[in-house]
Structure formats: structure tokens, C-alpha cells
Chain A
Amino acid sequence: MMDKELLFGRMITCPKIQKTDEEYQRTASFIKGVCQRCGQNQRTSLPRNQFYCQACLILGRVSSLDDLIFLPEPNNFDGQVELVWPGTLTKQQVQVSKDLVKSMEQGRNHLVWAVTGAGKTEMLFPLLLKAFQQKKRVALVSPRVDVIVELAPRLAAAFSNLSQVVLHGKQTTPYGYTQLVLATTHQLLRFKEAFDLLVIDEVDSFPFRGNPMLQYAVQTAQKGTSMIAYLTATPTPDLKTAVKRGNLRVSYLPLRFHQQLLPKLQIKRVNDWRLKMPKLLKKQIEVFIEEQRQFLIFVPYVSDLIIVERYLQDYTQLKGTTVHANDPNRIEKVQQMRQKNIQFLITTTILERGVTLPGIDVLILGADETTFSENALVQIAGRVGRSHERPTGLVLAVVKQVNLSVFRAQKQINAMNQRGCQLKKKFGVKDELSPLSAKD
């Protein structure tokens, strides 16, 4: 049988015919047809009246021929973790981190509503440190694998004497028992009553949002006394409702790491931009060329990429390309942009999140089409103003007609900025850099 440690706080499958020590807790894999790993009722039949769960198959099969085995989480950690991160937090980050520590002590869940680029990872450090020193087991998860991959080295560097493991579908290193687990939300399905603190980054993003299986995974993976911290720039309606009803505490981080506000969402109306290149676009491109400014153009559909690419072909001095979700060269193209080998990317919503390109401007063509939700537009605005040197920039929504999503996105940004202004006053942040206008 396997090393016991590997089963602490974990729930894994074991064929019914395979014997295990009495110490292991064995439960049936299905109760009333519901898979006991993922909580779903999506069975596929096998011969001889057996069946298996289709919902969580991606993590290996749970079938009626299996039991689930589990060992309770013993928190076998020494608590000797130190924070060796050399940076300091801003006053507002300190405030939020204190809020979080307080919620953990009271065993309450907490939402951090932080604008894109607010430095929320660093703001977690005091909370994480406290948890580690109290020998708590911690999971930091995200629906997005790129978020996890990016976080892992930063956390490894920030703490000493900390054991951590990274778990996601594409990684090949084996699982080990560690105090910190960095994982995609799917991986939580393999845990049971394991975590005293669970941090979910980008909680509103795909595939977590509206996925009952992943929400079940979060519930099962935490201990009864644990705390969940939700981090996002764009909370879902559910989270907002929970805040309104007083079921979820909230802290805001309305200022970005350089203490500036989010760029405003500007809106311009044009005629059908698919038929003919709008004058407005021509003018803006000329400005980009003159200023040698890098920019992203968001479009609603893959089929729009070529239309806009043709428009830009007339400007021979401009170098750039298109990118979409199934583009095999996606990562290289973003890298080309980051290294400033190209000046622009025309993209679908795939670059809405996660991509940091300092000093860019952004145009959203067809911002009034259904592809762009309110939250998507806020996320896109968050691509702009990501550097100390240029903490703001242009975010221009090009529409045929202003619709509710565009309007609400603009309001959401303004509301966050209002909170930011108040904070600046409260903490006496100087306005050394004034926000830029459209053609600045």
C-alpha cells in the first residue's frame, strides 16, 4: 500500500477487491447514484450493471467497482515558515491584509474586490504567513492554470521553510504532502476536509463560474472551521448578493499597485465597422504610429480578426498579428508583443485576462456585442496602465449602440475609481501622475 502521508486530506479511488489497512476510511463511491467525489449524478453504464461517473472522469475514473479511501488531515507541519519577501505593502494593501487575518481568526469567508494590477498576491502574504505559522494547511487555487503557474515561483520565493506542490492537468510531477497546495480548482476534487484556508483567485472566471461540480469541490476540500478568501476584479452576481446580505465580508483594493485609478472606459459610436474601416479607427491608428504606442484591438469573433487585419495592412510601417483561443502560437505571439517585436495584436476575448503588457492602449471593436459582458469589459480595461512609467492609457469601446453591458462596465469602473479617490484622500496618496486623456 502507498505512503500514508499521500492520503492525508485526500480522497482517492481504490478497487473494491483491493484490501487496505483498517485505518483508512472507506466509503462507497456512489450513494443514491451520486458520485461521492464530485457530487454529480452523471453516470455512464458499464456491463454487468456497473457504472462510472462521467462528470469527474478527467481526474481518473470513479466507478461502482471502486470505493473511495481517505485519511484525516493531521496538519503535520512544523510552523517554522518565514516571510522573506523583501517588498513592502502599500497602506491600503496593509488594511486589506488585516481584514483578511481578522476573518480567518473568526472563521469567516471574505471577498477581496481588487482592481486588476492591485498587487493582490503580495497583499495575501501576511494572511498566508499567519496560516503557515499556525500549522494550517492552505490551498491557493484558480480556475485558470496560467494563474497557478505564474504564482508558484513567486510564493516559493516569498516564504522560506515552506513545502508546496503545484497541481494541474498538464503537470507531470507527482503529488506530495505539503502545507501549501497550488492548484486548479478541478484538483480540489481529490481532497477532502484538507484545508484550513482556501484562497480562490479569479473566482469569477471560466470554468469555475456556474459550475456546480467545482463549487462542490471547494465545499468538500475545506474543513468545517476553515476560511475561504475569494479574489477577483469582477465579482459574479452571486458574490455581490452574498456581500449585500451580509453573508460575505468584503475588502476593496480600488487602487493599482502604483496607486493610480483604473483608466476610464471611453465610448465612441460608429457605423458598421465590419463594412468599412471607421474614420475614428484610422485617426487612432495614426496616433499609435506617431507615438509608437503598442496596442490591442479586441473583436467579438474569430472571423472579425481578418477584417481588422486587412484594415491595418494599409499601414506598412505597422507590425502586428492576430490571436485567438485555438491559435497554436498564442503564447509566442504574446511574447513577441512583450518583447516589443510587434506593435499590435488583434485578439478575441482570450486576452481579456492574465496578460500583462506594460504601457499599451486598448480598442474594443463591437464592445456592444454579446461576446463582451460587463465583467469582460472591466477585465479588458484592466490590461491598460500596468506600468509605473505609464500608469494609465486609452481604453476605447467602439460601438454601434451603447448597450447595458457597456454602460454598466463604465459605471463599475467609475464606482471603483470613486472608492480609490476616497482612499487616496484617507491615506494621503499624492497625485504625482495625472490621468491621461485619449490622445496623450
Chain B
Amino acid sequence: MTNFEKLNNKTVCSGCGRLQDSLKLCFDCQRWQQAGKFLLKNQACFTYNQAMKEYMRMYKFIGDYQLKDIFTKILQSLIKEQGMDIIVPIPVSQQTWLIRGFNQVTAMLESTSYQELLSVALVDKGHQSARQRKDRLISQQPFALSRTIDDLSGKKILLVDDVYTTGATLYHAADLFYQAGVGEVRSVTLAR
């Protein structure tokens, strides 16, 4: 069994936070740029190694909610370091709420004030890792900006998700905020 691998003070891609030899943009991030996106400058606490995959299996797929406590501290301090205006967790669908019973992201944000500005608009997105990467990159916008929100113009938004896999989820979310006129969108994830 491997251990969790921390990413702080490691050399990572400046676009998505993945562990690599240089700070240069990785291939995936270059493609996001070519697609006309503003980089998310994602930062992650850990690599998505075997230990983290096993953790996610227990926490998310089996649903052992109390495992949320393991990483609340480290995730929240990374969020704080970013100094952004509004913290926005990636939401889960209504169906997930009725089956899993929790949002794995907000569960880890107990002492952080966040705003649930996003909701899942598309019906269940299915098991993400099962789909082809290409499909995911071009898949439809899964989210909607919820309710009437105060003026977001010029605000700095920090998106929070559990795992950065392809970046598609976070870039879709970012699109909505840029359309609403925010100044900047960045992201933080537990694992990359």
C-alpha cells in the first residue's frame, strides 16, 4: 500500500497542479489554452495515486462519510492561501444526494464559508472515469448558476472539487462564471 503523496513545494504544472519535471504547462493544459480558456491555475493537495484512489473509493463510492475529516484541514488551508473572494464548491446532482447522501466537497469545508452558486443541470453524468476522455472534453455544460446572485462582476472565484481528472468539470463551471462577468476563476482540488 502506497502512502498519500503531498504536492506542496513540489514541481507541478502551473495550469493544473499535476506533478511533473517542470513548471511549464502540461499537454492537457496547452489544449485548454488552445480551446480559448483562461487557465484555472489549479492547485491540489495530493497526487491521485493508489492510496488516494482507494480513499476515494471508500469515501465517495462506498460512502463512508466520516472519512471526510481526514483532509478537511489541509484542503481548507490550501483554499485560504489562495485569497479569493468567493469559494464555490462543485455540486452533486439531486440523485447523488438521494443515493450517496452527501456532497463529498462541501463535507470537507466545515469551517470555510462558501456559496453554493452552482447546481447540476444535466441529469446524472454517470461514472466519469468510464467514459472516453475525448467525450468528456466536449461534453455538454453540466451546471447552471443557481438562483439570482448578487453582482459577480470583477469578483475572484475559487472553485473547489475533490479530484482534477481531465479538468472538464472545472472548466465548464468556470465558463459560467466568466459569462457572468467575474474577474478571475481559479480552482483547488484535493487530488490531481
Which residue numbers of A lie inside 8 Å of B, CB to CB?
Answer: 15-17, 44-48, 50, 52, 54, 57, 60-61, 63, 65
- Residue B95, interface by CB 8 Å: yes
Binds A, one of B10-18, B61-69, B151-159, B184-192: B61-69
Q: Is B99 within 8 A of A47, CB to CB?
A: no
Does chain A have a CB within 8 A of B102? yes
B positions within 8 Å CB-CB of A:
62-66, 95, 97-99, 101-103, 107
CB–CB B102/A57 < 8 A: no
Q: A46 contacts which chain B residues (CB < 8 A)?
A: 65, 101-102
Partner of B101, one of A50, A54, A57, A60: A50
In the assembled complex, the Cα of A46 lies from the Cα of B102 at a distance in Å of 7
A52 touching B63, Cβ below 8 Å:
yes
Q: A52-B65, A63-B63 are in contact. List 16 more A-B contacts (CB 8 A).
A: A15-B99, A17-B98, A17-B99, A45-B65, A46-B65, A47-B101, A47-B103, A48-B97, A48-B101, A50-B101, A52-B101, A54-B66, A61-B62, A61-B64, A63-B101, A65-B99
Interface secondary structure of B, over-half rule: helix
Q: Could you say which residues of chain A place their CB within 8 Å of the CB of B98? A: 15-17, 65
Shortest beta-carbon contacts, A-B, top 3: A46-B101, A61-B63, A15-B99
Tell me, rounded to whole Å, the shortest Cβ–Cβ distance linking B24 to chain A. Answer: 40
Which single residue of chain A is at the shortest CB-CB distance from B62?
A: A61
Least Cβ–Cβ distance between B19 and chain A, in angstroms: 27
CB <8 Å contact, B107 and A57:
no
A52: which B residues are within 8 A, CB to CB?
A: 63, 65, 101
> Which A residue sits closest to B107, measured CB to CB?
A47
B64 adjacent to A57 (CB under 8 Å): yes
Complex Cα gap A387–B108 (Å) = 59
Nearest Cβ on chain B to A164's Cβ, whole angstroms? 28
Distance in angstroms between the alpha carbons of A217 and B102 in the assembled complex: 29
Which chain B residues border A16 with CB–CB below 8 Å?
98
Q: Can you list 17 A-B pairs, Cβ within 8 angstroms, ordered by A?
A: A15-B98, A17-B98, A17-B99, A44-B65, A46-B65, A46-B101, A47-B102, A47-B107, A50-B101, A54-B66, A57-B62, A60-B62, A61-B63, A61-B64, A63-B63, A65-B98, A65-B101
Closest-by-CB residue of A relative to B99 is: A15
Identity of the chain B residue whose Cβ is nearest the Cβ of A57 in the assembled complex: B64
Q: Which residues of B sit under 8 angstroms from A44, Cβ to Cβ?
A: 64-66
Roughly how many angstroms separate A61 CA and B62 CA in the complex, as a whole number? 6
| A44 CA / B63 CA spacing, docked (Å) | 11
Give the docked Cα–Cα distance between A57 and B64 (Å): 8
Query: Which of A17, A57, A63 contacts B95 (CB under 8 A)?
Result: A17
Query: Smallest distance from the beta carbon of B67 to chain A beta carbons, Å?
Result: 10
Measured in the bound complex, the distance between the Cα atoms of B62 and A17 in whole Å is: 18
Residues of A within 8 A of B64 (CB): 44, 57, 61
Q: Which residues of B contact A17 (CB under 8 A)?
A: 95, 98-99
Q: How far is the CB of B93 from chain A (nearest CB, A)?
A: 12
In the bound complex, residues from chain B placing their C-beta under 8 Å from that of A65 are: 98-99, 101
What's the nearest-Cβ distance from chain B to residue A169, in Å?
13
Distance in angstroms from B95 CB to nearest chain A CB is 7
| Closest chain B residue, CB of each to CB of A44 | B66
- Of all chain B residues, which has the CB nearest A66? B99
A330 vs B95: C-alpha distance in the bound complex, in angstroms?
Answer: 46
> In the complex, what's the smallest C-beta–C-beta distance from B98 to chain A, in angstroms?
5
